[in-house]
Chains A and B, each alone.
Chain A
Amino acid sequence: MTSLAEQLPVQSSRKAGLLELRQLVVEYGSGQRRARAVDGVDLTINQGEVLGLAGESGCGKTTIASAVLQILRPPGRIAGGSILFEGQEILGRKEKELRQYRWRNVSIVLQSAMNALNPVMRVGDQFIDAMRAHEKIDRRHALARAGELLELVGIDRRRASSYPHQLSGGMRQRVVIAMALALEPELIILDEPTTALDVVVQREILQQVEALKRDFGFAVLFITHDLSLLLEFADRIAIMYAGEIVESAPAEAFATNPRHPYTQGLLKSFPPLTGPLPHLTGIPGAPPDLRDPPAGCRFHPRCPHCLPAEHALYLRQTTERPRLRTIEAGHQVACHLVEESAE
């Protein structure tokens, strides 16, 4: 049987993405309480790349991770769009196929490792369970493989006989990363992997992920609220606000030429550790309630450039949703102001 990808026409010369989200819409609840947590998101992750997805809490970044893995729970549901992995649609697949896709193709590392691990099961047994659920391997070989994986992330293989509570927070997070690697997936989703950890442990883990990525060649979707971390760690960064991608560009472009006012505000929310210390302002106001998002540009109530005095622009900003447009190679922005200044 030929796979779907082979039947599809070859996509020009452009390298097809490993994972592609097209106009993805995810909703929670219904009726009056319906909230679109993800509203028309286009996102591509290429082979071997680190894509950073940044935004504040409630902007929909974790919902995207759940949608990609098809682990959304009611009342959450995918209300539109598609998710393509290696060119093939993930939506509508049978549970049995999804079980293969999860972990073997895409695995996830969550913020709280303690919640990801079973507290009453030895670490080694959890590896064995995961591996035996996906492939024919006997316990002895699975345990040997678990030992190798633990050593890959810098943990003594004898720790396989430990219970999660006997490990430090950083070690637990590394165990979860080792488990995510167990079936050598093409994509690993890191959802706030280091938020609960100290900076020293955070750096240690990120260095380890970098090294593993070099050896295994997997791609990473790195979800975090910490833009400063992504500037250092990601190849490309997408900024989310209130369910939408507002800017997407190579990481370097964010340092030199951030265009969306929200991105600019976010960058001005992190005080520097070295160099001159400017007075920072952050962004006034708070992210909107997604059950009733502002009309037009969702950022307009907090935007310093959205001024009633500029009638024509103001009207557009408050009534028309800005679309993500390419302003230069690889750099997309959804902002009426940027659009008009380019014209």
Chain B
Amino acid sequence: MTSAAPLEVRSLTKQFPIGNAVRRAHVHAVDDVSFELRPGRITALVGESGSGKSTVARLLAHLYEPTGGAVLFEGSDVSRVRRRRDVLRYRSQVQIIFQDPFGSLNPVKTVRHHVERPLRIHRVVPSGQVEDRVHELLRTVGLVPPEDIAAKYPHELSGGQRQRVAIARALAVEPKVVLADEPISMLDVSIRIGILNLMQKLKEERGIAFLYVTHDLASARYVADDILVMYAGQIVEHGPVEEVLADPLHPYTRLLVSAVPDPATKTDAQQVELRHGDASAAVDPAEGCRFRARCPLAIEVCSQVTPQLVEARSRHTARCHVTAPAPTD
């Protein structure tokens, strides 16, 4: 039996109003998104910019309030809790790491300050043990010697070290869930893998459930167990990462996979058929598949009926009338 999911997302929806008082419209940034994060598993959330993947992470981090649906933490809906005590309790279990390790640390405070603060706010350890715990956390994320690092200011660290400080800070409260929103995309190429390896280690040693938001499919394959593919606010495919990337069901996933640079082939040899879509597929969407304008497989029904997520293979679902048709009864 698999252990229960600490975090479960049910039909999560977030709309942002755009336009003005006369011409009001809504971006369906997140539309009916459901999944769970399990202990000791990394779930990748991929999609193009504007697909809603970061909004999902922010909804889970309680930085936005959803328009509809629920975020269940250990069974109870936390998406609308407002009392500071309840929010704090939730945040002590669910932490977020942002893309920009320059912007997420206070430039006039030392590393020690950043890692110590959550320990004190959430009273994780008695104050006599704070110093030891700070050093232990820094060692865990590979920042050694911790005594030296703790005294440094963010500008004295490299981008990779700063991101490790952000991770140490997130780990301070001993969270069950860590939401990593593009944690490596601003880092130098040669140090990205180190951060991914660290996530893997934390997953294995601490049983943390990770949500790894990224636009980089290869890194998702490297680090994740499962993958969620988002397009225009909806999950269009969900399954084990190896299977989804090796044999994708949804035409959008296929397009993504074929667009990734492949050193084995020169561009001439591998012309990907690209069709222009409407970038605003998530603005007051009409009935039908949101990918249909760009889809090489589109048939008539695609413009009439919105496809549902269908489990076409074991533990592998897709939202497509053609490749994952709904079972007829």
Task: Please list the residues of chain A having a beta carbon within 8 angstroms of any beta carbon in chain B.
Answer: 56-57, 168-169, 198-204, 206-207, 210, 225-229, 231-233, 255, 265-266, 268-274, 277, 279-284, 286-287
Contact = CB atoms under 8 A, between A and B. Distances in A.
A270 B256 contact: no
Given A204-B274, A207-B267, A286-B161, A168 B190 contact: no
B19 interface: no
B271 A207 contact: yes
B262 interface: yes
B67 interface: no
Contacts of B246: 274
In the complex, which of the residues A202, A266, A273 has the most CB atoms of chain B within 10 Å of its own CB atom?
A273
Interface residues of B, number: 40
B261 A228 contact: yes
A269 to B, nearest CB: 5
A56 B257 contact: no
Contacts of A227: 189
B267 A270 contact: no
Given A207-B271, A286-B160, A273 B263 contact: no
Given A203-B274, A231-B261, A273-B245, A286 B191 contact: yes
B192 to A, nearest CB: 6
B267 A210 contact: yes
Interface string B256-283: 1101111111111001101000010000
Given A207-B272, A273-B260, A282 B265 contact: no
B245 A228 contact: no
Given A210-B268, A281-B194, 9 more contacts: A56-B190, A198-B215, A199-B261, A271-B196, A273-B218, A273-B245, A273-B260, A277-B222, A282-B197
A61 to B, nearest CB: 12
Interface of B: 48-49, 158-161, 188-194, 196-197, 215, 217-219, 221-222, 245-246, 255-257, 259-268, 271-272, 274, 279
A225 B191 CA distance: 12
B217 A199 contact: yes
B42 to A, nearest CB: 13
A232 B266 contact: yes
A228 B263 contact: yes
A70 B272 CA distance: 37
Contacts of B219: 271
Nearest to A279: B197
A270 B193 CA distance: 8
B259 A203 contact: yes
Contacts of A225: 188-189
B188 A286 contact: yes
A270 B264 CA distance: 14
Contacts of B188: 56-57, 225, 286-287
28 contacts: A168-B279, A199-B217, A199-B259, A200-B48, A200-B255, A200-B274, A201-B48, A202-B259, A203-B261, A203-B274, A204-B274, A226-B189, A231-B263, A232-B263, A232-B265, A269-B192, A269-B193, A270-B189, A271-B196, A271-B222, A272-B218, A273-B221, A273-B245, A277-B222, A282-B194, A282-B197, A286-B160, A286-B188
B227 to A, nearest CB: 12
A196 to B, nearest CB: 9
Nearest to B142: A284
Given A273-B245, A286-B191, A280 B222 contact: yes
Contact of A199 (B215, B221, B245): B215
In the complex, which of the residues B194, B196, B263 has the most CB atoms of chain A within 10 Å of its own CB atom?
B263
A279 B256 CA distance: 24
